[in-house]
Structure 1
Amino acid sequence: MLVKYLVPALAAFGSAAAQAGTCTVSGGTTTVNSQAEATKLASCRTVRGSVVLGKQTGAAIDISGPQQITGDLRVEDNGDLETLSSSTLTSVGGAFVLKNVTKINAINFSKLTSVRALQWQSLSLLSSITLGPLSSADEVTISDTVLQSLEGIDLTNVKKFNINNNRRLQQFSSKLATLDEELIIQANGIGLGLTVDLPNLVWAANMAIANVTKFSVPSLKVVNGSARFDSNFFESFSAPNLTHTEKGDISFVGNAALNNLTFPRLTVIGGGLLVANNTALDEINAFSKLERVGGAIKLRGNFTEVEFPALNTVEGAVDISSTADIRDTCEELSKFAPANQGGDGTIAGVFSCTANNANANDDIDGDTSDSGNIDGKDDENSAAGMAFNSALLGLVAVAGFAAAL
């Protein structure tokens, strides 16, 4: 039943109030349980408050009439709704929430351009969406659908963007330029693969990317936090314009097909570097200009060659292990170990390097964000550079290994 959704003033003012077009919701929420109740909103240009659809609404609800909803538009735990639409709604001041709406297959909001948050989860039959396109949102979550396209979501800036478990989604391309908090992409395109193209992305706070066949960020310059790549299917990854991470880690773990990494302009990793269990990666030579690592370096894999020709400061530990014979490399690198290990202190934390370790790919736990065992000030000029001549190990998930090594 519709909850006294219009202030009594509407009745008093009649057509004049309807023309003014502002309807204030009694108690802050209008509950819609049928199309007849949705139609009662048609005279409201602006609904001040939230609109909530009940759990049993019938198969189709059209909320045409209102242009703005200042609060939320919310549908949860509804097993009836198959289509939801509005030909007039342009903005939702709160969250547009669809959660556990098990029969919905189509969403048509042809003029919707702005929401505070888009939260669509557990919509296992959703295959079609039409939006304004959506050009303004702080947060977007799209999870557990059968969408093949996210066309209609046309954002340039967003705080959080989470795309997960959309089993038929094979391609995602966006003009996103900045991501203020996080980008999460995982478990999409099951059995098919997902390609991701973000040609305009220049700045991101944090990224966690998994199960993609391609991830393209040709313009990315700065990652403020961490960039983590786990269990992907791509053979090659390149960040041609990335110059530094402010305080976070770079991590590649368990990317079985990965055989090539390229970071030609990366000079500083504010946190740690973790490369692990990327079994096809034979060389670690992607970091030709890397000078400083603010955390630890941990490498695990089958690599036979490792090169960091510009590296002069590691504020944490260095832990390297390969299934291959890298004894010569270990000996060469030992000169940069801490003073208490007989080196010149370029590496501030504990230095460890092992060859012919059959279990190198199994040991992927670690913390690269902790500087670990620092016994003095950083000496960035203590070594002109470090050349690693061992096999590429793979970037393991960034966590906490420095002091524990």
Structure 2
Amino acid sequence: MLVNYLLPALAVVGSAAAQNGCTFSSTVTISNQAEATKIASCKTVKGSVLIDTGAAGAIDISGPKEITGDLKVLNNGLIETFSSTSLTTIGGDFTLRNVTVVSSIQFASLKSVQSLSLQTCLRLKTLELGPLTQADEIIISDTSLEKVDSIDLATTKRMDINNNRQLTTFTSKLGSLSDSFNLNSNGIGSGLTVTLPNLEWIANMTIANVTKFDVPSLKVVNGSARFDSNFFESFRAPNLTHTESGDISFVGNSKLANLTFPVLKTIGGGLLIANNTKLEELNAFKNLRTVRGAIKLRGSFDDVDFSSLNEVNGAFDISSTADITKVCDNIQELSSDGGNGKIAGTYTCTSENEKANDDTDSTTSGSGSVDGGKDKPNGAAGFALNSALLGLVAIAAFASAF
């Protein structure tokens, strides 16, 4: 019970509590607003704070400026608003999970947390933070938020924003992201417009159900970049030069008519373009020189330009609903079967294949695994998406386990 932990601490620190902080031997559990006011004199709460499942109505924990541990609200269907005017720092995790009726989270001074996780807060419409400028991880899933503009990070490790039906715009000054970036199933009906003007370096990203994805400064993808089932008509990465180790993938983007990668020269993994039915010309990769994995292309395109291609460590497998006989002949000149051998693996080209768009699998018509290139067993004959990319597909399931 809160009193059992609180009174001994207050007896020791007395009136100096506001200066020296309050130390608790275990997590402090707050069951109602009256108990919340008992930590108001603590400048620093040295420990973690848990809001009980039975806490109801408005819970305000104003007073402390810092919580050195976690601040959590779990499995609560009674809290309507959660706030603090004073709290600036949470040394651990700030988590609300399965808090089903909370409509407002207002921590107007909060600038730093270890992680922010808002999951299954179905009625949450208002999120007001300091703004938040420091966090290693952001997870926002299954809320009614219309904006998240009080999250203002320049760098982070992981960001996962998914299944927020009312969220239609996301703009961030984010410059680098060192682990994974997942955007999926936001802005249902209208999609999500994403603007990241400062993003230069990212590890891995999976982008789905997005209306616009603007990354004008992006230079390097360290792992993989996957774009599935988006609504944008065009995608540009005007400054992307290479991926270090992973794949580039565009699958099932029904409105996509134009791709532009003017300075992309190296893909560290494989290239998969499939079932983008409006994409009639595939000339985005005319300056691409090296693919260390395999290339698989499926679509309705009638023109394909890989005029600078100098090395493919894996297979090259292409099929279109249109007549691409001339394309097949041109790329044949790069194959190991009658060409100059720049394509190390199996070369397959199929013209006027009415079922070309049905094949979105990540394997080619060859056999074996090619991800990572020549060092893999049978590396010249197949295609497999980088494991880091496949891990991103399951990120929402992983997040739910927190």
TM-score, structure 1 normalization: 0.90
1:376-395 equivalences under 5 Å are: none
2:104 to 103, 106, 123: 106
1:92 and 1:397, CA in 2 relative to 1: closer, same or farther beyond 3 A?
A: farther
Aligned equivalents of 1:33 and 1:7: distance in 2? 16
2:24 is aligned to: 25
Do the aligned partners of residues 253 and 67 (structure 1) sit closer, same or farther apart at CA in structure 2, a change above 3 Å counting?
A: same
Instruction: Give the aligned partner of residue 342 of structure 1.
Output: 338
Q: Give the whole-Å Cα distance in 2 for the aligned partners of 1:285 and 1:91.
A: 49
Deviates more, 1:151-160 or 1:341-350: 341-350
- Would you identify which runs of 4 or more consecutive aligned residues in structure 1 move more than 6 Å? 372-378
What is the rounded CA distance, in whole Å, between the counterparts of 1:33 and 1:90 in structure 2? 22
Deviation string for 1:188-246 (max 9, x for gaps)? Answer: 00012210000000000011000010000000000000000000000000000001100
Q: Of 178, 181, 186, which residue of structure 1 is paired with 2:179?
A: 181
Which of residues 170, 183, 200 is equivalent to 1:202?
200
Equivalent residues in 2 for 1:86-97 (5 A)?
A: 86-97=84-95
Residue 120 of structure 2 corresponds to which residue in structure 1? 122
**RMSD between superposed Cα atoms in Å:** 2.0
Partners of 2:295 and 2:3 lie apart in 1 by 60
Q: For 1:57, what is the secondary structure of its paired residue?
A: coil
| One-letter identity of the residue aligned with 2:353 | N
Does residue 342 of structure 2 align to residue 362 of structure 1?
no
For residues 250-261 of structure 1, the aligned pairs below 5 Å read 250-261=248-259
Give the structure 1 partner of residue 66 of structure 2: 68
Name the SS of the counterpart of 1:361 in structure 2.
Answer: helix
For 1:353, the equivalent position in structure 2 comes to 349
Q: Is the 8 A contact 1:193 1:212 kept in 2?
A: yes
Matches for 1:5-404 after TM superposition, within 5 Å: 5-6=5-6, 8-16=8-16, 18-27=17-26, 29-338=27-336, 341-367=337-363, 369-371=371-373, 398=385
Distance 2:90 2:44 in 1: 10
Relative contact order, higher structure (CA 8 A, sep 6+): 1
| Alpha-carbon distance in structure 2 between the residues aligned to 1:313 and 1:124 | 50
Cα separation, 2, equivalents of 1:2 and 1:247: 51
Displacement after TM superposition at 1:70 (Å): 0.6
Structure 1 374/311 Cα, relative in aligned 2: closer, same or farther at 3 Å?
farther
Mapped to 2, the partners of 1:99 and 1:159 lie a distance apart of 21
Q: How many pairs align? A: 379
Q: Distance in 1 between matches of 2:378 and 2:62?
A: 67
What does the per-residue CA deviation read over 1:112-133, in whole Å, with 9 as the maximum and x for residues that have no partner? 0000000100011000111100
Q: Percent identity?
A: 58
Match of residue 391 from structure 2: none
Q: For residue 331 of structure 1, report the CA deviation from its aligned partner.
A: 2.2
Cα distance in 2 for partners of 1:103, 1:374 equals: 51
Cα shift at 1:373: 9.7
Change (3 A) 1:7 1:296: farther
CA distance in 2, matches of 1:206, 1:273: 15
The answer (yes or no) to whether the contact 1:316–1:373 under 8 Å persists in 2 is no
Aligned residues of 1:79 and 1:101 also touching (Cα < 8 A): yes
Cα deviation, 1:328-374, whole Å, max 9, x if unaligned, reads 22122222112xx2332100111111111111111111246353798
The SS at the match of 1:336 is coil
How far residue 3 of structure 1 moved from its aligned partner, in angstroms, is 6.1
Q: Is the 8 A contact 2:13 2:20 kept in 1?
A: no
Maintained 8 Å contact 1:230/1:397: no
- The question of whether the paired residues in 2 share the 8 Å contact of 1:21 and 1:43 is answered with no
Map Cα deviations across residues 42-69 of structure 1 (whole Å, 9 max, x no partner). 0111111110011010111000111000
Take 1:358 and 1:372, find their aligned partners in 2: how far apart are those partners? Answer: 33
Equivalent-residue separation in structure 1 for 2:55 and 2:302 (angstroms): 63
Distance 1:335 1:111 in 2: 63
Does the CA contact (< 8 Å) of 1:50 and 1:69 recur in 2?
yes
C-alpha separation in 1, matches of 2:130 and 2:50: 21
One-letter code of the match for 1:291?
R
Alpha carbons of structure 1 residues 121 and 182: separation in structure 2 relative to 1, 3 Å? same
1:279 Cα deviation (Å)? 0.2
Unaligned ranges ≥5, structure 2: 364-369, 388-402
Checking the alignment, whether the CA contact within 8 Å between 1:226 and 1:247 is kept in structure 2 is yes
Question: For residue 389 of structure 1, what is the aligned residue in structure 2?
Answer: none
1:23 alignment partner AA: C
| Structure 1 Cα separation of the partners of residues 264 and 154 of structure 2 | 25
